[in-house]
Amino acid sequence: MLRVTGLTKSYRSAGEDVAVLRGVDLAVATGESVALTGESGSGKSTLLHLIAGLDAADSGEIALADSVVSRLNDAGRAELRRDRLGLVFQQFNLIPSLTVADNLVFQSRIAGRHDAAWLDELVERLGLKNFLRRYPEQLSGGQQQRVAIGRALAPKPLLLLADEPTGNLDEDTADEVLRLARDLVVRTGCGFLMVTHSARLAATLDRQVNLHAGVIA
């Protein structure tokens, strides 16, 4: 479902090019959950941002189902994020002026795939029923991340991308949030690629891959 082939990316720093990714190959199957690990600065977040179309690679190919992400222009990548990808970050990125209910439906509505029954199931499974009228600032970190996961999964994306989604949470809350994410990924059948520095959390997913020196080790 996701195929990354020969991906390279460099950045200009102090007057010279610094290679971050040196030919990454990666695949994620439909319904599979994969943990992407590696030391700080190994390029994990860079790889995730390239897959999400938030940045462009220097060379190589990224294909999501029948779409070649690496060949899309800015508008095409924005459409891909809207229609086929779910994104969850360490910073919850909820819209502060919207209630929990409105944050949850935001992406599914702009994607034109709002499903009231599925939303009700998400609210129930994520334990958000009593918080729908609250605003993000009135929630704990764990509650905000549950909302972020619900918003990302509401349109039933092909792939859920998560960059250190539990980094701001205590261990017990992190375990619970990730368990909910895994269960809902299985329920939707989408792929799940999560960047994490935690070997413990990585071990709970179907497969772990390690990024080292710009390649998948």
Written as one string, the DSSP assignment of 68-129 is: EGGG--HHHHHHHHHHTEEEEESS----TTS-HHHHHHHHHHHTT---HHHHHHHHHHTT-G
138 is in which domain, residue-wise?
A: 30-54+84-216
Q: What is the pLDDT of residue 174?
A: 87
- The pLDDT-based confidence of 184 (bands split at 50, 70, 90) is confident
For the chain, the average pLDDT equals 93
214 burial via Cβ count (<10 Å: 0-12, 13-18, 19+): buried
Are the C-beta atoms of 162 and 193 separated by less than 8 Å? Answer: yes
176 burial via Cβ count (<10 Å: 0-12, 13-18, 19+): middle
pLDDT at 43 over 90: yes
pLDDT at 191 over 90: yes
Determine, yes or no, domain membership for 62: no
Region 32-41: mean pLDDT is 93
Q: What is the pLDDT of residue 70?
A: 85
Determine, yes or no, domain membership for 24: no
* Domain harbouring 128, CATH code: 3.40.50.300
Determine, yes or no, domain membership for 8: no
Determine, yes or no, domain membership for 68: no
More confidently predicted of 206 and 90: 206
Q: What is the pLDDT of residue 12?
A: 84
Determine, yes or no, domain membership for 154: yes
Region 142-157: mean pLDDT is 94
Determine, yes or no, domain membership for 20: no
Determine, yes or no, domain membership for 152: yes
Tokens of 175: 């375990």
Q: What is the pLDDT of residue 177?
A: 87
pTM (2 decimals)?
0.92
Q: How many domains are there within the chain?
A: 1
Question: Model confidence over 127-136: pLDDT tens digits?
Answer: 999 999 999 9
Q: What is the pLDDT of residue 40?
A: 86
Using CA atoms, how far residue 69 sits from 20, 49, 54, 62, 158, in Å, is 19, 12, 10, 5, 13
Determine, yes or no, domain membership for 74: no
**Residues pairing with 172 in the sheet:** none
pLDDT at 24 over 90: yes
